[in-house]
Structures are given as structure tokens and as C-alpha cells.
Structure 1
Amino acid sequence: MTIRCIYDLTRKKVVPEGEQTQLNRVLSLFDLTALGVGSTLGLGVYILAGSVARNQAGPATCISFLIAAAASAIAGLCYAEFASRVPKAGSAYVYSYVSVGEFAAYIIGWNLVLEYVIGTASLARGLSDYIDALANNSMSTALTETFPINQSFLSKYPDFLSLGFVILLTILLAAGVKESTWLNNIFTALNITTVLTVIISGSIGADIKNWQISKEDIPPEVDHGGEGGFAPFGISGIIAGAAKCFYAFVGFDTVATTADEAKNPKRNIPLAIVFSLTISFLVYFGISTVLTMMLPYYEQDAKAPFPHAFEQLDWIAIKWIVTIGAIFALCTSLIGAMFPLPRVIYAMASDGLLFRFLSKVHEKTKTPLIATVISGILSGFMAVMFDVDQLIEMMSIGTLLAYTIVAICVLVLRYTPIEKSQTPDLEYTKDSSGSLNSFMVLFKQLFNLNNNKEANASTSLITNIALTVYGLISIGICVWILFYPESVDPDEPGTLTGFIILCLVLLLVFAVIMRQPADDVELSFKVPLVPLIPCVSITVNICLMLMLEAETWIRFAAWLAVGFVIYFGYGIRKSSERNRKEVNMVMTEPKSSVKSEELGGIS
């Protein structure tokens, strides 16, 4: 029974080459890139730059965005390789299903549902709050007086305007993918136009002296001015700003969920991910540079930086252009946030891990209609009952966990042979004397001193074990640095020596992974510098996850508990892969060889 359960949890999805999709393949490279840019450029452009400049990094905000972009680009490269391997809807869910196994894939898919629901709800609520601010908060005042909610864990009032936005978006997405992407392309073009207006006009009013303010020149009434200069809060401020800026790049994975609707997914999805991340970084870098040159960092408005900056320069016309553009930008991000949600639900329901009726595709619109409606109901409820701060607190953990799993999957697949035996080749581990556990044989195998050029079951097993150890050591190092930084000090030689030893062990494990032969599969895109880039991504994402508040982990655990009830009560029995393998076992003779199910066999 235990063996059967383990088998069910680790069974992998087989994606037949040339499998047809029920969805409508209409998305071009331009559509995919616009969707990625629209999903990424939203609140980050019009709010985040001012908030980070004011509270974390000062003029060095542009460096914070650079660091965050680098971390996101690493995850983006991993997504791009998987998109070239598996042109299927579902993003990290499918990627982990075909490489790690069903249970890990379910956790990721369930987590992505949470991420996209909260992302949609928070943007709808943010758009509502932005419009309310333009109306002098008259809407929130009236609703608070009429429908007060006196619960600390809920919003102060039900936001019906945000519910209206979600309903309209649900109708739009249900109408057809081409129609929704057409509107998204228009909004994205208006967003880019607004950004260019900000950068060009802001450059005219820029003054390099705002990057050179000394501590003595900071007004005494400013209680958070730091040390002045380009980096008034030091390296720690830049890193803290980068951690916050990282979430400004969340959204590019939207592109990876549309593989069933892309015209040429193996080529266009990797390109669209790279293009959207590049465009987003250039915009954020330009925006943060101009903003901090227009006004001193301590005078920035953390909630509406650009209208405030242009108002201080007495450029009222530009202020309103930017304000209107911000509304279009939030509309674009709202489309991008909800667009992948029904597609992830559709992918999971098609595999039998969620209820099958959610995978039904409307004959006329060729969209997962029921999944889209359910997505709207979930997002609308969250938007009505929670405010932006409460929603944003729950967003980041899902994204970081998905990025980590994708990076792990890249390594698993790279070091897994296309055709491998079911068990490691024990003959390979024996030395000339026949001693199976010889230390020298183990040492040679761990570091591939025999110069084996082809991946096999043994080298794949070594890689997987080393990868597990690498992840555990990374957690230990991150915990040590984040929660016990005082112990990493030359004045504490005992603890410092332990920390150095732990880092050396991590490098040794990395060397073991690097020395194993990789399987050379021809793909339209591959992550460069493997295993370095995926391993760096794993460590960085673990550090960022550990920086999240305890309440976030509690909410996340509660969401997972609901998901486990659905999986163990329904999905584990109704899985398409379980049914397929049971049919194969009946139709295949006992002596038949088992065919490899590894993703590396897909070209």
C-alpha cells in the first residue's frame, strides 16, 4: 500500500509529441510579448519606484531594480527552456508534472491558482483605490459609513467597484482569447506611451544634484533621510529595495501558461519571456532614474510618486496624462493577472487533479468557460473583502516557490538520460575487486573521474541526491545569514568557522552536480551555464521566501490544507496518468519493457 502511494505521488506526465489542443492557437510573438509586458508593468511603474526610493534605496533604486531584474531573468531563462521542451498550457505546473512528479506538480498548480487569484484581486482593488483617490476618497467614505466591516483581518468596507472590474474582465476573457489580447495590446501600447512621456518629460526636469545631496543638506524635519548621496541607506538598503522590486517583475510567467494558444510555442514563448523581461527592466530602470533626479528621494510620495513629482514641478498637464496612463496600465496588469488563472485550472482539471467539469471548453469561444467563471468568482470575492495590503502579503510566496521548482526541474531534466533503465546500473559502481562500497569507487562516481560522457541512471540518481542536499544546505545558510547575522563575524571564530565549512560543503555538492554528464537534447532554447544559473536561482529564491512574514506562511499552509483535501479525496484517484498507466498494465504483457517517461525524450 505504501509503495503504491509513493508511486502515485511520483508518477510523471507523458506529453505526446504533436498532441492537439482544444484551445484556439491565435497568439503571435507580438501578442505574447505584449501580454508579458502588460502583466509586468503595472503598480510597479507608478507606485513601487517612489516607495522604494523614499523608504529603502534612495537614488540607488535603479540598482535595486537591476538586481531584481537579474534574479527574475534567471527564473525567466528556466521558464524559457521548459517552454521549448513542453509547449503545453499550465506553466510551472506542467513543467514539474513531467519531471518531478504528480504531487509536486499539484502543489505548484494549486499554489499558482492562489497567486493569480490574489494578483487579480489586488490589482482590481488597487485600480478602485486609484480612482477613489482621484475622487477625493468619496467612494470609500460613503461605503465605510453605509457598509462598515469591523473585522481586523478584512477590509474596512466592501469594494463593489473592484467587483465590477473583475466581472467585466471575466466576461471579456470568456468571450475569446483573441478579443481579450486585442484589448490588452491597446492598453499595453497606451501604457508604454505613458511611460515614454514620463521618461522624456521627467528627463527635462531632472537634476543630477538630487543624487548628490549630503547629509547636512537634508532638512531636519525629515526623519528618514539616511546618510545622503546616491545610496543614503547603504548596501542593506539597496538589497532591501531589490527584495521589494523583485515582485515588480512577477508576471512574465503568464506567457508560459498560454502555450496551447500560441501559434509557434516552442519558438515564440521563450522569445516572448526574454523580450518582456528586457522591456520591463529598461522601463523600470528609466523610470526610477528619472524619478529620483526630478525630486530628492526624501520628498517622494510613496503612493503616487509621479503625479506628486509633476505637481511639484508645476507641470499639471503632464500630471494628468500620467494619471490617466496609470489607469490604463492597471487595466493592462489586471488582464495579465487573470488571463493565466483559468488556464492553470483548465490544465489541472484536464489531468484529473481538479474536478473534470472545469476543463470543459466552450464550442464557440474556444475558452475554458467554467474555469474562467470560477476564477472570476474567487477573485471578485477576494477583491470585495480584503484590501490591497492584505492581498499583497499573500502574493509572493507562491511565485517564489514556483520559480524554485522550475529551477530544480531544469537540473533534473538536464541530467536525466532520454532512455534510461528503471534502476541504477550497479555494475557501473563496482571496482575491479568487486567491492561495491569502496570509498574510491564512490569518490570516482561522485566526481565522474571516469570521464563518463553520457548520462545514465546512476549519474541521474547522484544528481538528484546532490540536488536535494544542495537545497537543504542552502536553507541552512540562508537561515544563518538572515536570522543570525551576528554569528558570521570575525569576532566569533567558532560560529564563523562553522559557517565557512557549511559554505564549502555547498560548493562541494555543487561540484558533484557540475561533474555529472548532462543529456544533450536539441532544444530551441537552453539555459546557459547549467548548473550555475539554476542553482543560484534556487538559493536566491529560498532566501527571499525566508524573508516573508510568519503570517504569510500560516495563510499559505491553510491554502495548502484545502488543496490536499481535494487531491487526496479526488485527484489522486481520478488522475489521467493513473488511468493511462492502469490501461497500459492491462494491455501490456508482464515481460514487456517499460518505456521511459522522462521529458528529455520530447523533442
Structure 2
Amino acid sequence: MQTQTLYRTLCRKKIFTAEETEPGKEKLRRVLNVFDLIALGVGSTLGSGIYVLAGTVAKSIAGPAVVLSFVVAAIVSSFSGVCYAEFAGRVPKAGSAYIYSYVTVGEFIAFVIGWNLFIDNTIGTAAAGKAMANYLDALLGDPQKTLMQKYYPIHLDYMGEYPDVAAFVFVMAVTVVLAWGVRQSSALSSVFTTLNILTVGTVIVSGFYFANPSNWFIRENEIPAGAAGGDGGFLPFGWTGVLVGAARCFYGYIGFESIATTGDETKNPNKTIPLAILFTLLFTTLAYAGVASVLTLMWPYYDQDPDAPLPVIYSNLGMPVIKYMVSCGAVFALLTTLLGCLFPTPRILYAMSSDGLLFEFLSNVNEKTRTPITATLICGFASAILSSIFDIEQLVEMSSIGTLISYSIVCICILILRYKNNSSTDVRDDEDINSEVLFFVKWFDNIANAKIPNADTQYVSRILILIYTVVAFVFCVCTVNVGNYKGVYQVPILATIMFTVAVLFMIMIMLNRLPQSIENLTFKVPCVPLIPCLSIVLNLYLMMELNYKTWIRFGMGIIFGIFIYVMYGAQHSLEGRKQRALKVEDRKTPEISS
């Protein structure tokens, strides 16, 4: 009995309608349109990566084929993007992947995802603040670095070299802007994004003017001695370089999911959010591909500066005016990235607090600004502290794993919803032993011929989704580590890879045979189950590429969050209160009848 109660507690789902209002809860102001959300999404994704990432990948990983790396990364990101878009139409509420998983999977998983997003966005904000401080400090000749290293050095391996006061100030300044009001912060983000886009446009136009097509077809014998130029040509490092570069470029697309956190502040979110996500991915792909093209056309790929490629190229070409324009554009990009990273974080805490899973004061909304001001200030202060004591490399390492987990959960939720039994009369009795024994018999006799989802097809789909996720995990672990073994030790790993690939294909075929629910949605993921299944594998693969220290830091943060859930969230959950109230009413009903 206690096991069943625990299971029901962890798996209880949030149920709401579009008209639902919670008594005593103030609502956020719906002021954002599709252009505001595109500006937010573009600002979050088209950040400092466009000024640094392309040069880094081109120099020693992909060469001129960095353009293809960005396209491949865009395709991978779009898999998760379309899943987010469908969910945004299904669940137009603040909270992003947290609310999506709460509605479809259950409370405990939702809390883990929401807490994970909070950690990820907080660290991402800190990294953006640190990057901006480092860039401006370098532009001015490193005055802060010189002063702080001389008088206030930090001699700890797991922290930065010195306390970064500038990063703290930048993050807190942006926090105050966000606390001021969503309309004002959105307007500021739109201005910075516009200036950033103008800078990108200037780079692309001027880049094609100074383009030298021969830089895409440099022969191997023309590469200077000592330069890591590979075999020369458009694919100097082969298709392997393109794929490795795509894995690196993938992180340049992280940020579009911030659009999905604005459900309570967006006009007509069912249509606006999916459109904004898709247009954001399209625009950023064109921008990344355009800049990567002119970057490698203007200057040989092997001679790119990995830290600031564009200013160095324009300096070498004798174009100081454009050089300083690009430098200013990088500042605007960092500001928009900072705004985009911090914006969704308090909305996630607001959503979790509104559901009773976190402390109630986090859902307080200021009467004047109509923003979750307490949550905003707490998130901003936490990010400012992190940005002032850690190096950017340490922050970047910690910021990716949460995003990839969130992407995977959303894709799994899409699969669960697509095969969900929406009939309230057809309920499967999970305690019926006979139905368990006849499980595969029903698969061949009834399930494969079903036209609409029923209780049995739903049960089969969830078993298949679970098996697929576990097998995909094993496949990714083996694929990442197969190169570490040689000879006979490599044989069992290769055999496991081949076996898991066969199982994954078989499960996708079985899922494809199952009936999907017929729903009238503003946007639906195409090619289900193929796209969500591929996205799960790709996200898990990138997660396996992260080092063990990142997993340890992530695990410590998640354990702390689970402690909060056990001690507070499980008891104060609104859904739990509703269930307890229903039980009390059920107990009173027989007494009244008698």
C-alpha cells in the first residue's frame, strides 16, 4: 500500500484547462507578440557564438566545411525545436519543459526537469556575464585582470583566478532591467538584437565583397609548414570533421527554448510560440551559415584566430571601421545572450512555486511591474555570484548537460502524448494478471489492427518508449567509448552497438504500427516516431561526450533539489492537495448517505 501511495505521489500529473485560474494567484501580463518572441529567441541563440564559434571550428576541426557543420547542427536542433513547438501549442503556460513533463509524465520527473532548467539557465547566465566581462576587459587592455590578479588572487583550482567584479555588476544590472518589467526588458532585448543583426548583416555583405573563392580550395602543398590544415580543399578534415564540428556548433543553437517559457505573457501562445521557435531556428541557421561562409572566404581557415576571428580578419584587411563595428556588435550579442539566459529562469521558479513544489514567495508578482520580481532577483544574484568566482570554461562545461536532458524529456513526452488513449471509457487494468500474460497475443491480434489508441496500445507504446530510451543510452555509451579499446577488447563493444542499432530500428517500426491520437493542434511534429526518436539518440550521444566532472557537479545540484522536493514540494504540491481533498470528500459521502 505504501509503495502504491509513493508511486501515485511521484507520478501524479498536473491537469488544467485554458480557462483555469488559481485562487489567490496573480497573473502575468500578456504583452508579447511573435516579433518579441523571435527577438528573444534570436538574442538567446545568436549570441557570442557567431563571433567566436565559427572561427574555432573552422581553424582545426572542419575547415571551410564549417558551413555544413552549422547546417547539420541546425537539423539536430530542429528535431528538439519542433517538439518544443508542439508542446507550446498543447500547454501554453509558463515553465517550459517543466510544465510539459508535469502534464504528461508526472510530478517528480517534472520537478527534476524544472530544477535542472533552473541550474542550467543560472549557470548559462553566469557564463554570459563572464564572457562579456572578459571581452570588454580585453578590449580595454585587461585593467581589471591585472589589478585583481595583483591584489586579490584566488589560489583554488576549482575556482577562477580572481573575483570578477565587472561580471557581477553586469549580471545584476540586467537583473534590475528584467525585474523592471517584461515589456521594458523585451524592448531592450529587441534593440540589442536589432543592432546585433545589423552587425551580422554588415559582416556578411562586406565579407562577400572581400571574398576570395580560392580560400575554399587551398591545396595541401599550399598550407604553411606547422599549420594544422589537414588535407586542404573544402573538406580538409573529411566528413568526420564536419560531424565533430556539428557537435561543437550544436551549442550555438542552445537558447531557443527560452521562448517556450513565456506562455503566460504571450498573446495567443498556441500559435505565437510555435511560429517564433521555428522562425528563430531558421534565421539563426542562415546567420551562422552566412558568417561561416564569409569568414572562410575572406581568410584561410588554418590562419583563423580562435578567440576573435572577425576583428583580426578586418584588421589584417585594413578595415578598422568595420573591425570596431564588429567589436560593438559582439557587445550587443553578449547583452542579448545575457538577457535571453536570465529571462526564462525566474519564470521556471514562478511556475514551480505556483504549483506548490517550491517556496510560495517565489511566485509573488509585483503589482506594478507584473513580473515575478522576487524570483528574478534571486536568480540574478545567484548568477552574479557564480560569474564572479568561476572561470568561463568551468561555467560552460556545467551549462550544457541540463539543456540536453530537457530536450530529451520533451521528445519522450511527445511520444507519450502521440500514443495516449484519450478515451475515458477504455481503461486498462494494470493489476489484471491475465492481461499481462496475454500482452503479446493482444499485440498481434488486436493492437496492430487498432485504428485509434486504446488502453492496450497506450500500454504497449509506453513499454516500447521505455525500452527505446534504455537501449539508446547503452548505444551512446558504447559509441562514445569504442575508440578507447583496441583489438579483441573492441569486439564485444562493436557487437553491442550492432545489436542496439537493430533493436532501436525494430522499436521504431513497432511504434510506427501503433495508432496515434487524432487531435486538432496548431502545430504537430512531422514524421513521428522518427524525429523524436532520432532526437533522443542525438541528445544522449552529446551528453555522453561530457566529462565526468560535469556529471558530478550536475548530480550534486540535482540531489540538493530532490532534498527540497522531499522536505517541501511533495507535501505542499497543489495537485497533492487536490487529491487529498477528494479523498476526504469520498470518505464523507458514505456517511452522508447513511
Counterpart of 1:279 (choices 278, 283, 287) is 283
The match for 2:132 is 127
Give runs of aligned pairs for residues 198-277 of structure 1, distance below 5 A: 198-222=203-227, 224-277=228-281
CA–CA distance in 1 between the matches of 2:173 and 2:165?
12
Q: Structure 2 matches for 1:461-472, cutoff 5 A? A: 461-472=459-470
* Distance across 1 between alignment mates of 2:577 and 2:431: 35
Instruction: Count residues in correspondence.
Output: 585
Counterpart Cα distance in 1 of 2:427 and 2:452: 16
Aligned to 1:99: 104
Check whether the contact 2:482–2:493 (CA below 8 A) recurs between aligned residues.
Answer: no
Alpha-carbon distance in 2 for matches of 1:57, 1:404: 27
Report if aligned partners of 2:219, 2:233 keep a CA contact under 8 Å in 1: yes
What's the offset of the Cα at 1:327?
0.6
Structure 1, residues 84-105: CA drift from partner, whole Å, max 9, x if none?
0011000000000000001110
Structure 1 residues 144, 494: closer, same or farther in 2, change over 3 A? closer
Residue in 1 aligned with 2:523?
Answer: 525
Counterpart of 1:187 in structure 2: which amino acid? F
Correspondent of 2:336 among 328, 332, 345: 332
SS state of the match for residue 411, structure 1?
helix
Alignment of 1:483-522 (within 5 A): 483-485=481-483, 496=494, 498-522=496-520
d(CA) in 1 for partners of 2:328 and 2:559? 42
Deviation at 1:508, TM superposition (A): 1.3
- Compared with structure 1, are the counterparts of its residues 376 and 452 closer, same or farther at alpha carbon in structure 2 (3 Å cutoff)? same
The CA distance in 1 between the partners of 2:200 and 2:531, in whole Å, is 31
Distance 1:389 1:578, change over 3 A: same
Counterpart of 2:456 in structure 1 is 458
Q: Is the 8 A contact 1:353 1:572 kept in 2?
A: yes
Structure 2 matches for 1:74-93, cutoff 5 A? 74-93=79-98
SS at match of 2:171: helix
Q: Structure 1 counterpart of 2:569, which letter? A: G
User: Quick one: distance in 2 between partners of 1:155 and 1:421?
Assistant: 60
Distance in 2 separating the partners of 1:564 and 1:428: 33
Unpaired segments ≥5 residues, structure 1: 593-603
Classify 1:440/1:523 alpha carbon distance in 2 versus 1 (closer, same or farther; 3 Å): closer
Deviation at residue 585 of structure 1 after TM alignment: 2.4
Stretch of structure 1 that moved more, 100-109 or 483-492: 483-492
Judge conservation of contact 1:470–1:506 (CA < 8 Å) in 2.
yes
What is the letter of the counterpart of residue 395 of structure 1? Answer: S
| 1:299 equivalent in alignment to 2:303 | yes
Q: What is the SS of the residue equivalent to 2:540?
A: helix
Instruction: Indicate the residue corresponding to 2:444 in structure 1.
Output: 444
By percentage of residues, which structure has more helix? Answer: 2
The 1-side partners of 2:252 and 2:160 are apart by: 24
SS in 1 for 2:185: helix
Query: What letter is aligned with 1:29?
Result: V
Deviations 1:184-220 (A, max 9, x none): 1111110000000000001111111111111111111
Q: Cα distance 1:131–1:528, how it changes in 2: closer, same or farther (>3 A)?
A: same
Measure how far apart 1:584 and its partner are: 2.1
1:578 is aligned to 2:583:
no
SS in 2 for 1:393: helix
Q: What CA distance in whole angstroms lies between the structure 2 residues aligned with 1:4 and 1:160?
A: 50
Question: Shift in Å at residue 429 of structure 1?
Answer: 11
Distance 1:567 1:436, change over 3 A: closer
Q: Hey, what does 1:595 align to over in structure 2?
A: none
Q: TM (normalized to structure 1)?
A: 0.93
Cα displacement string for residues 398-429 of structure 1 (whole angstroms, at most 9, x for unaligned residues) = 00000000000001011112234585268999
The equivalent residue for 2:11 is: 10
Tell me the secondary structure at the aligned position of residue 398 of structure 2.
coil
Contact 2:127 2:387 in 1 (8 A): yes
Q: Which runs of 5+ in 2 are unaligned?
A: none
Counterparts in 2 of 1:518 and 1:312: CA distance versus 1, 3 Å: same
TM-score (norm 2): 0.95
Residues 591, 291 of structure 1: CA spacing in aligned structure 2 closer, same or farther, 3 A cutoff?
farther
Report if the CA contact (8 A) 1:394-1:555 is conserved. Answer: yes
Please list the CA deviations of residues 425-459 of structure 1 after superposition, one character each: whole Å capped at 9, or x if unmatched.
689998xxxx97458724506x933x111111111
Return the alpha-carbon distance in structure 2 between the equivalents of residues 550 and 41 of structure 1: 29
- 2:351 and 2:76 map into 1 onto residues whose CA distance is 28
Structure 1 residues 336-393: Cα deviation after superposition (integer angstroms, max 9, x where no partner): 1100010001111111111111101011110001100101110010011011111000
2: CA distance between counterparts of 1:345 and 1:29? 24
State the one-letter code of the partner of 1:4: T
Pairing 1:313–2:317 present:
yes
TM-aligned CA deviation for residue 500 of structure 1? 2.8
User: What is the CA-CA distance between 1:16 and the residue it aligns to?
Assistant: 2.0
Deviation at 1:591, TM superposition (A): 9.7
Deviation of residue 514 (structure 1)?
1.4
Residues 440 and 575 from structure 1, CA distance in 2 versus in 1: closer, same or farther, beyond 3 angstroms? closer
Cα shift readout 1:122-143 (whole Å, capped 9, x = no counterpart): 1111011110111111221111
- What secondary structure does 1:484 align onto? helix
Q: For 2:311, give the aligned amino acid.
A: P
